[in-house]
Amino acid sequence: MTGLHERHLAVSPEWLALYYRHPLELTHGEGRHVWDADGNRYLDFFGGILTTMTAHALPEVTKAVAEQAGRIIHSSTLYLNRPMVEMAERIATLSGIPDARVFFTTSGTEANDTALLLATAYRRSNQILAMRNSYHGRSFSTVSITGNQAWSPTSLSPLQTLYVHGGVRSRGPYAELSDERFIQACVADLEDLLGHTRRPAALIAEPVQGVGGFTSPPDGLFAAFREVLDRHGVLWISDEVQTGWGRTGDHFWGWQAHAEHGPPDILTFAKGIGNGMSVGGVVARAEVMNCLDANSISTFGGSPITMAASLANLSYLLEHDLQGNARRVGGLLIERLRGVTAASPAVREVRGRGLMIGIELVRPGTDEADPEAAAAVLEAARAGGLLIGKGGGHSTSVLRIAPPLTLTVAEAEEGAAILADALHAAG
């Protein structure tokens, strides 16, 4: 155990988890690589939980941060803030939400917390619909709507939460159905649920479940849900904390895979837009955003320095078509991973889209999750020079692969080869 690890344990909560038997101290990064305190170099396929979205030490972002820091770092929302207004204008346009208003926060948790506040105040209801296996943050309200038991430490809640089928395609009572019949069954379940409850305020859903193991429904499910929700007067919140900004490759926002009936009522974002700076936010049409009848501010949300980073990062992402790169290189990577895992009895499924890929591990010959194998592969991948994440539903048995969106074809090939060796070594 290193001295820093001992110091960490002495002052940190027991539930503040660290990866690896011998935890890493990352000291610097460049592009898609990071280095630890011992000088070891790693290919980074997790980006600090999908947060270093573009690249480590991206010159355009570091320059923008340095220049803004030399002017003013902080002011709060009590003063006009040019970078915040400019960023809000760009996000309002990109969101697809008509007459959009944008409120910045410091994290995805806070963004989802704000979305819940808006929805419950607007609809005068404390009932929320959420997806099974979901994750929405670590605050008191977001924990209470999280459908993943491993990340929901208390049953106490300010909200009444009802859970809906559909977030996990390949498990559960509808897994054997065709995509069309799967959607029909989930819609019927939603209709039945709404027939037995008072009107909920909103449905909150991740288009691709992040912590849940990069699971997703068939395209079109949330469009079908939207028909039912609109008929019952229920808002739709799309949690884009992990799926936004082109990571899925096919779309800029995850909701666009379900776009038949237009954008969500509320959209939340965070993670990668700051490329490591603490940025989150909420987009909603003015009628919903302006429903609060009390004062509110944000001390740190939308700070000049985080907005300068976000503006530079967003410009780089759009100018270099990183969504297209996620589609092209991500498509290659997922096919490589399917190829190298095809003969492994421990791999149940390789799934995902763009640069958001999950490898689900099970005990060979069964459908039973194998978190021990996932932990072993994580260690073996690190030994081979690759950092990945893990997640999943009832146990952390899914390897989570989400490199920065500038990933090259050569790096994708290298990472797939390291993962193949790690699976072999752990299996």
3-state secondary structure of 425: helix
Question: Are 406 and 320 within 8 A, CB to CB?
Answer: yes
Q: What is the pLDDT of residues 278-301, one digit of tens each?
A: 999 999 999 999 999 999 999 999
Confidence bin at 95 (pLDDT 50/70/90): very high
Q: pLDDT tens digit string along 101-152? A: 999 999 999 999 999 999 999 999 999 999 999 999 999 999 999 988 888 8
Spatial CB neighbours of 203, under 8 Å, sequence gap ≥ 6: 128, 129, 130, 164, 225, 229, 234, 235, 236, 237
Cα distance between residue 60 and residue 80, in whole Å: 24
The arrangement of strands across the sheet holding 127-131 comes to 100-105, 280-285, 266-269, 235-239, 202-205, 127-131, 160-164
Every domain of the chain with CATH number 3.90.1150.10 lies at 3-57+322-426
Residue pair 129/200 in contact by the 8 Å Cβ criterion: yes
Answer whether 43's CB lies under 8 Å from 286's CB.
no
pLDDT at 234 over 90: yes
Q: How far is residue 369's CA from residue 213's CA, in Å, rounded to a whole number?
A: 12
Q: Around 207, how many Cα atoms within 13 Å sit in the side-chain half-sphere?
A: 31
The answer as to CATH 3.40.640.10 being correct for domain 63-319 is yes
User: Is 1's pLDDT higher than 80?
Assistant: no
Report how far apart, in Å, the C-alpha atoms of 394 and of each of 161, 202, 205, 211 are.
Answer: 19, 25, 18, 11
Give 364-398 as a DSSP string: TTS--B-HHHHHHHHHHHHHTTEE-EEE-SSSS-E
Q: Is the pLDDT confidence value at 373 over 90? A: yes
Average pLDDT of span 391-411: 93
Q: Which of 260, 258, 419 is nearest to 344 (CA)?
A: 419
Mind listing the pLDDT tens digit for each residue in 159-168?
999 999 999 9
- The string of DSSP codes covering 110-153 is HHHHHHHHHHHHHHT--EEEEETT----SSHHHHTT---GGG--
Outline which parts of the chain fall under CATH 3.40.640.10: 63-319
Tell me the two tokens of residue 373: 């194998």
Which residue(s) pair with 101 in the sheet?
284
The mean of the pLDDT values for the chain is: 96
Alpha-carbon distance of 224 to 228, in angstroms, equals 7
Closest-CA residue to 129 (of 200, 29, 74, 60)? 200
Split at pLDDT 50, 70, 90, the class of 362 is very high
Query: What is the architecture of the domain spanning 3-57+322-426?
Result: Alpha-Beta Complex (3.90)
Q: Band of the pLDDT at 154, cuts 50, 70, 90?
A: confident
| Average pLDDT for 300-306 | 97
Q: What's the residue count for the chain?
A: 427
Residue owning tokens 């068939």: 218
Q: Among the listed ranges 140-149, 180-189, 399-408, which one has the minimum average pLDDT value?
A: 140-149
Structure tokens at 389: 């994440």
Burial class (CB in 10 A: 0-12, 13-18, 19+), 250: middle
pLDDT tens sequence across 22-69: 999 999 999 999 999 999 999 999 999 999 999 999 999 999 999 999
Instruction: Take residue 199 and report the two structure tokens written for it.
Output: 């009107």
Q: What one-character-per-residue DSSP string does 56-88 give? A: BT-HHHHHHHHHHHTT-S---TTS--HHHHHHH
Phi, psi values for residue 103, rounded to 5°? -125, 125
What mean pLDDT is predicted for residues 325-332?
98
Cα dist. 390→86, 94, 317, 335, 356 in Å?
Answer: 36, 30, 26, 20, 12
Cβ(401)–Cβ(208) below 8 Å:
no
